[in-house]
Chain A
Amino acid sequence: MLEGKVISLIILLPLISFLILGFFGRRYFKTFSGIVGTTSIFASTLLSLITAYQYFFVVGQVNGVYQKIIALKYTWLQFTPNISIDLGIILDPISVMMIVVVTFISLMVHVYSLGYMKGEDRFSVYYSFLSLFTFSMLGLVLACNIFQIYIFWELVGVSSFLLIGFYYDKPSAVAASKKAFIVTRFADLGFLIGILILSFNAETLDFETLIQRLTSPESTYLKGIVASSFLGFSALSWGLVLVFMGGAGKSAMFPLHIWLPDAMEGPTPVSALIHAATMVVAGVYLVARLFPIYALSCPGALHVVAYVGIFSSLFAAIIACTQTDIKRVLAYSTMSQIGFMMFALGVSSYGGENGLGYMASMFHLFTHAMFKALLFLGAGAVIHYVHSNDMKDMGGLRKFMPITHLTFLIACLAIAGIPPFAGFFSKEEILSAAFQSNPVIFYLAIATAGITAFYMFRLYFSIFWNKEAHLHGEHHGEGSTTMMLPLIILGVCSIVAGFVPFGKFVSSDGAELHTEMHLTFSIAPVLIALGGIFLAMSFYKNANEKANNISVVLKGIYTSAYHKFYFDEIYLFITKKLIFNLIGRPAAWFDRNIVDGFINLLATLTQEISDTIKGMQSGRVQNYAIYFFFGIIGFVILFIFLLK
């Protein structure tokens, strides 16, 4: 019963709501905008749940293997008989899992925003942007064609830009939105080149055909793309690494991560939706989508994915320990967790038991969406209450915000990987996948997991325990029902999501993957995580000087981590000092003097000539008659004597 038209409604409902709110929202809906947006996304969520049920339990499986179903396909631009850009819908385990995650988290954020953004001046604009984002994200995950994914990829970039810069009267928000857009756009340049390389060599844009042509060993396309090389690497490696560059930009992987912390300038629910749960995992999704090519044809590119992932993960975790803005801490933790997903893909291989990393990565994506959205929404509630982003202004809030406190604690336990919360299961899978294939990555990952536990509980204890902050201003309650309800729902999900038998549904080749929990294996990571928690507890539960003393001892590392290892400064140096001075200014000089000069010269010449000959147009009839007369004489001479 997987009707293409019904499934396309999942995508189209948010689009319709975007159009309605965008065109008429401010004038006719005002405060009802939220209801309109939420209703459409609610319908979309229901539809995607039905689709998921149909796919996973009724029609998707043939002989125990989940099939790729093209539910809808429409040829949009036909370039040659072989190459066309299609718009369509692909259903396979990861896309179905993603639409559930995207619509569900989006619904939660829509509901939450009803309370959080209440009274905001541009309330309906906000909801229309949210709808636009949901539309483009759904289009991205359901894309059946690498060019379609690129189109929606850019659309999520735009909606992210719009939402980061939502408070456009705040200069920092404007700068952040510009930064996010430019950095991801730069990465997308690589993505585009990658697409062109792959599709040029495989002569198709369609995912299924592309994967089939570039993986089967006897395919001539594969031989061709491997044979042609550039700078010592095959065209295939270049294509895949460049595609990964696009993914790394969107997913804030090192060294393209600099935009994500700044993106926290947007409204907090937006951070929960876009910069934690959905858009930033698009890169992971992209690699997963092309995973057979990475795993079967070009393991080298997969190693790049793995090392970039683990490095970003560790790097972000270290920075997260020093930040004091709670949203920034969460941003770095997002980056770190996405690093986990990336290297899980990187250490995986295709098919059967060896595809554990793939499944673990998708599993972590699934659980991470739940608890990270919960963390952000909880942080939003705290910020709403305290009117500040800074940890130093908080403390002792557990008495005032019991629900937020409890759900935040659940999310922290989940991200730290304490059983039986969701994060534990997915993180264990990732660690065991890493353990099987690459010990270096495994040890780094387990260290990162410990750091994760530490900084999350540093956050938790600083917000809800520690010394009580001086709260100024009148004290409203914890938040409206619409704000608390998503927290509770997501809290429940963060507990139960881990018990989903994920390997049954999602695996690298579609067949069921049995995963076993080795209790002995789990002991070490859980102990390390607990260690991190206790360390954080001793430092931050009560106000004391231990943390400060440590930071004094580790002065050099602490300051550089606090300044995010000076990456913003490095980028500024590269762009402002090097690129602007060495390329920008000469180019500007060339433009101003050579290009403009040439045009100005033409203009001046024309003016001079016209000045000299305009006297001919004297306005005197007799002059014209003389011209006419001599013209005729000229013609007469011409015809009689010259052209006999």
Chain B
Amino acid sequence: MIRMLLPLIVFAGLLVLLIFGLRTADQREIVQSPLVGKPVPEITLPGLNDPETTYSTAELIGEPYIINVWGSWCWACREEHPYIDRLGREAGVPLVGFNWKDEREDALRWLNRFGDSWSFHMVDFEGRAAIDLGVYGAPETYLVDHRGVIQHKHIGPIDATVFEDLMRRIVQMRAEADS
């Protein structure tokens, strides 16, 4: 009888392990970007509304800021747009739009329709600078501190939970910058 129960016992052990695995699944799911903790690469790109102006990440050093990667073609960017609105109003730090692999006209029309809450936009139509930045896809949101170091990166659209988390981190970065 005991011998017959052996498979059941082994299976029970397997279940315990899997239940444990399930409980810690969230932690494993976070893809760590290799760039977190490293300085933002120096990127110089033209603006969206103002193609004559160029913006550079080097100019932004000194205060914390947010980089948000988006494109008019990106469905999930529309989804997160309400939270981008709120970030623009509530974060109290520059919110840099990184317009990725887009067409100028499409992007401007999109902003007209849904609202432009970003401080300014850099455009990367070719998608070359995005490679330096380690962009996986749009949307993506980076938090950069006053020393120009990437503190955090969120891949995918921002929802209520992510928004709270981002705000908490931004407040912390601002406090650090002030001290």
A binds B: no
Contact surface of A with B, Cβ cutoff 8 Å: none
Contact surface of B with A, Cβ cutoff 8 Å: none
